[in-house]
Structure 1
Amino acid sequence: MDISELRQEYIREGLRREYLEPDPFSQFEKWFQQACESDVPEPNAMSLATVSADGKPSQRMVLLKYFDRQGFVFFTNYESQKAQQIDANSQVSLLFFWIALERQVRISGQATKISTGESFKYFTTRPRGSQIGAWCSQQSTVISSRQVLELKLDEMKRKFQNQEVPLPSAWGGYRVVPNQFEFWQGRPNRLHDRFLYSLANEQSNWTIQRLAP
């Protein structure tokens, strides 16, 4: 299968230094809002890259659930592969790709577990089916068939019938605290605009540099 001719020319507006917010969180919020307004499917979908204790990388798509200047929060099973790798090496990378806007945002930083109280607060906002589903899967483990999940789902529905679904002890959130952001805007002839924000010191001062495409 020859895919060498598959290509798309990026023709939207460029990204200039004078248009950037001095703070990367503000710049991200601006771009994220524009992605939401442009009807980009799942604008909060992001690739999460982790590395195992023996140096093997893994990636998967997860959903950003909220963010502020303290970091970017997603939720998962604390016994999953990603959680085990974060326990071994807390340095992670996030990637947002909004193809309709010809934009990428790459974020590097440290992932840490949020408090049980914070996880519970979000858990109570999930649809009941998702709450029950969190009790059904030992994420990343080998199972014999889908029927295993469906039987577990029926069991949990009966168990929690007519009551609130409690927070599973093995489920919760991580907050990624960034030390670098890269904002990428596609341009013609593959001469893309790239700007790197790097954390300069503990006072949250950020340097901004243009990178070659």
Structure 2
Amino acid sequence: MTANDRDAVHRTARRTDYLGDGIAEDELAATPLEQVQRWLDAAETRQAERGDVPEPTAMSVATVDRTGMPNVRTVLMRFLDGRGPGFVTGLTSAKAAEIETTGTIAASLTWPSLYRAVRFRGHAVPLDRDEVVDYFVSRPWGSRISAWASDQSRGVASRAALEAAYARFAERYPDTGSPDDVPVPDDWGGWRVACREVELWAGRRNRLHDRLVYARVTSGGLDEARAWAVHRRQP
């Protein structure tokens, strides 16, 4: 790259000073669960009022395959309680295979309009089957059909082939208006992040962002203050 090329990159680089309020230690909730829920509630309120947080529960999930190659994708956080954040997926998907290989997982929620993000790191724990079934029957009929039609993460010849599979299962399990009209596939389930740490990131001016971390010090859920110690990381 020539000097002129570098100058052009510098001139066109988008620079935004983050105007968030940050977060201080004395503002933190006693538990990570309460703090994450506060921020999630704020994101949902912001979406309702301004419409600039279109998927407040959109969560990036990172895993590593057997060669050490990392992988990341976005899912929707469907569960959040003292056991950790959880999501649903096909159990033969790439993410499920990678979780089975290493047992480890990281995830993040990001709300750019609020200059906030949450990072979770830990081990993956399968969702209880009862939780999977209860959630599955709450989905719209079309989403339940998609769980049958998609062999998640596998190759497919074309869009037409995918839609043909959808049509076959839609015919097999017609919409009767009942939550039981589509059975739960055996290879459909989900995972929770059993957290070792939960980091809160709050963007501030001049790139002096706040990073406060709940780090695990003993056993206990995200809703148990004794299980966590708080420390600050440099931005």
The residue aligned with 1:175 is 192
The ranges of structure 1 where at least 4 consecutive aligned residues each deviate by more than 2 angstroms after the TM superposition are: 1-5
Secondary structure, counterpart of 1:173 in structure 2: strand
Shift of 1:5: 2.4
Shift of 1:176: 1.2
The residue aligned with 2:59 is 46
CA RMSD of aligned residues (A): 1.4
The residue aligned with 1:140 is 153
Residues 46 and 97 in structure 1, CA contact (< 8 A), matched pair in contact too:
yes
The residue aligned with 2:131 is 118
Match of 1:9 among 4, 8, 17: 17
The residue aligned with 2:5 is none
Residues 197 and 206 in structure 1, CA contact (< 8 A), matched pair in contact too:
yes
The residue aligned with 1:71 is 84
Shift of 1:55: 0.9
Match of 2:183 among 161, 166, 169: 166
Asked if 1:19 corresponds to 2:27, the answer is yes
Matched pairs, number: 213
Unaligned runs of 5+ residues in structure 1 are none
- Normalization by structure 1: what TM-score? 0.96
Q: Which moves more between the two structures, 160-169 or 76-85?
A: 160-169
Question: 1: distance between equivalents of 2:85 and 2:24?
Answer: 25
The residue aligned with 2:38 is 30
Question: 2: distance between equivalents of 1:36 and 1:62?
Answer: 17
Question: 2: distance between equivalents of 1:117 and 1:14?
Answer: 39
Unaligned runs of 5+ residues in structure 2 are 1-7, 48-52, 221-225
Shift of 1:122: 0.4
Match of 1:80 among 85, 93, 100: 93
The residue aligned with 1:94 is 107
The residue aligned with 1:208 is 230
Question: 2: distance between equivalents of 1:12 and 1:71?
Answer: 26
Q: Which moves more between the two structures, 198-207 or 91-100?
A: 198-207
Question: 2: distance between equivalents of 1:141 and 1:31?
Answer: 35
- Normalization by structure 2: what TM-score? 0.87
The one-letter code matched in structure 2 to 1:2 is V
Question: 1: distance between equivalents of 2:84 and 2:25?
Answer: 24
The one-letter code matched in structure 2 to 1:152 is A
- Bigger helix share: 2
Residues 22 and 206 in structure 1, CA contact (< 8 A), matched pair in contact too:
no
The one-letter code matched in structure 1 to 2:114 is L
Per-residue Cα deviation, 1:147-176 (whole angstroms, up to 9, x for no partner): 111111111111112571000011112111
The residue aligned with 1:152 is 165
Q: Which moves more between the two structures, 109-118 or 2-11?
A: 2-11
Per-residue Cα deviation, 1:172-213 (whole angstroms, up to 9, x for no partner): 121111110110111111011110110001245211001111
Secondary structure, counterpart of 1:195 in structure 2: strand
Secondary structure, counterpart of 1:34 in structure 2: helix
